[in-house]
Structure formats: C-alpha cells, structure tokens
Structure 1
C-alpha cells in the first residue's frame, strides 16, 4: 500500500500509544505484520539501553521499509502463524515486541509478546466477532 506523504505524516507524527493502537488495529484487520530480517533470513531484534531485547513489528511493509538498514529486508508474517508459533517462543526467551517504532521518534510502545497477542485477540473479538484460539492466553 502506498500512502501520500500527508497520510504518512499523519500516521507517523502522533505519540507512540496512538501509533501502537493504529498498528494493532491494522494488523488485526489485515491479519499480517512486518518484521526486519538480515541477509541470512533471521529476524532482526533490537536491544534498548537497559539491555531488553524486542522484536519490532509494523502494520504495513511501507513503514518497515522506512527504518530498515542496509543488508536488511522486510518480511511479511501471517498473523495466525505469528501468534501460534512466534509469540510463545518470544515469551519463552523473554523478548518483547515493539509496536510500530519509527526512526524520527525515539518513543515506542514495547510490550511482552503475550500482551501483544492478547491485545490483537481482543481487537479481533470486538471488531470481527472471532479471535484465535491461543492456548497461552
């Protein structure tokens, strides 16, 4: 999806909590999300100043492309696969999820992987009347 610049600015400029809500709703609606991967096909994790490790995710490929570095690519995940397979592993490793980080703004909503899944499932249930059966919730 390609947004006009004004729409991009309107999505990127709000504070992290509003970007996060936008992202969660769009991820639930599209049932896809985007992550960065290195040349070897491994997901790129980020580490904050306190040493916490997290996986950044985006609601659209276009926004992930804006922050990728040389040698990185953007990967699309089907939401159900991500929630079924990746979230339990992320939780076991103690990794969080950073929802919709942007280069121009250092703030980002970082949450435990299980909380991410629960929030997505709540949006699916409230907006679409169905949610994924996730044994860890």
Structure 2
C-alpha cells in the first residue's frame, strides 16, 4: 500500500488478520445444483433478514429446485417477519450453533448474502462477514456508503 500511497508512511499500522488459523477456506465448493445461498448470523432487521426472506421467496418461485436458501444462525425473537420462511431449506435456529456446525454449514454454501441495513452497519464491523471471507465464499452484499 505504501508503494502506491507513499504519503501514508508513518500513518499506517499493520494488524494481524483476525481470522482463526484453523478456519481458513476449505476446498472450493463446486457450483452445481441446487445453488446454495446463505444468510449468516442473527436473523434480524439490521442484518437484512426480511430482505433475504423476500429474495428467497422470489427465487424459489422462479427457480426451484435449482436454488436453496439457508439461514445459519439464530432467529431474532422480536422479528415478526419470521413467518414466510417456507422458502428456506434451513431456517434460523432456536439456539446457538456450535462453531464446528456453523463453519461446516458455511462450507456447503456457494454464496453468502449480506443485505445489511446501512443505518446500522455504516461504520461497524460484522463478524459474519469475516466468517464468509475466511471461508472463501463469494459475497452478495448491500452497498453501504462510507
């Protein structure tokens, strides 16, 4: 970076990447049918779960059985939109998933979807985004202005 932006010399700090060494990308998931899309983490409005559900319902109506939608995480108790989940192959869990179960489920996905609400995620990090990046999964994400 300093080669391209030398004026940053003395102003840039390098940190170790916060990924666990045993959770690096597994073997690439070959793209075949059904194509598996996943929502990671707490199924709430801030993370865009209603948007994910809407996309899942539309895609299932048009492309079933060639697509699947998986919610990997807990369901938000306060979220009224937890109905209309019939399009989901895997619905939000009632309890926390173990880390091993969670990472194994991510490994089976082809794509991860992050329809985050920019009001909540404009300047705060997402652990589930790091999970997707560390697994090597392609991201489909909402544009969040910086």
Normalising to structure 2: TM-score of the pair?
0.27
Structure number with greater Rg is: 2
Normalising to structure 1: TM-score of the pair?
0.28
Q: Which structure is higher in strand share?
A: 1
